[in-house]
Chain A
């Protein structure tokens, strides 16, 4: 199938780390993306990883890719209240992105 799956909700305390998980289906996907969507807004590109990489770090964000299990995760270190949003993973099959349903992250003060 074409599904990209994510858990719907995640709640963490401010200052803790958040880990958002995603499984995808197409082993030929070349790039995998993480986007952030705040209420009423569009999607903000956070980071992306090429499929021949295992890990990518960008400031507070760490992306881990397990190609064998088709599993992607996004870790946000020192989570802040401003990180509360919906996080989408997407697999890029050339130009056609397949999105998950999004994980709603709630950060508790």
Chain B
């Protein structure tokens, strides 16, 4: 009865490196969402994906950030050339098809930039 699986749980990168965060949705869920949580703040929406499609990326920074949800495999949030301000917890959520279905969250990836 696996929930939303995210890995790694913790990721440390130096400034300028790339960070790749993975998310496997719950079984039967075809919708994936990424949120970012800065310290002492609530979660902020970044992007909404379905298989092979980005539906809404209005919350993603225009540069350095990208997301995908391929036909096979997990969803990936990719941050290129990381900067200190990218340090945050990144949460993935998934939901099944259908209006009003609640989003279920993973345990997050805590990204630290040195």
Contact = CB atoms under 8 A, between A and B. Distances in A.
B108 interface: yes
Given A96-B45, A101-B42, A43 B91 contact: yes
A17 to B, nearest CB: 24
Interface in A85-109: 88, 90, 92, 95-102
Interface in A17-53: 30-31, 33, 35, 40-45, 48, 50
Contacts of B108: 41-42
A102 B102 CA distance: 18
A50 B43 contact: no
Chain B: interface size category: 20 to 34
A52 B6 CA distance: 34
Given A4-B42, A88-B42, A99-B44, A45 B56 contact: no
Contact of A97 (B6, B40, B55, B103): B103
A45 B102 CA distance: 8
Interface residues of A, number: 24
Contacts of B95: 95
A33 B105 CA distance: 13
B56 A95 contact: yes
Given A4-B42, A101-B41, A101-B42, A41 B107 contact: yes
Interface of B: 4, 6, 31, 33, 35, 40-45, 48, 55-56, 59, 91, 93, 95, 100, 102-108
Interface of A: 4, 30-31, 33, 35, 40-45, 48, 50, 88, 90, 92, 95-102
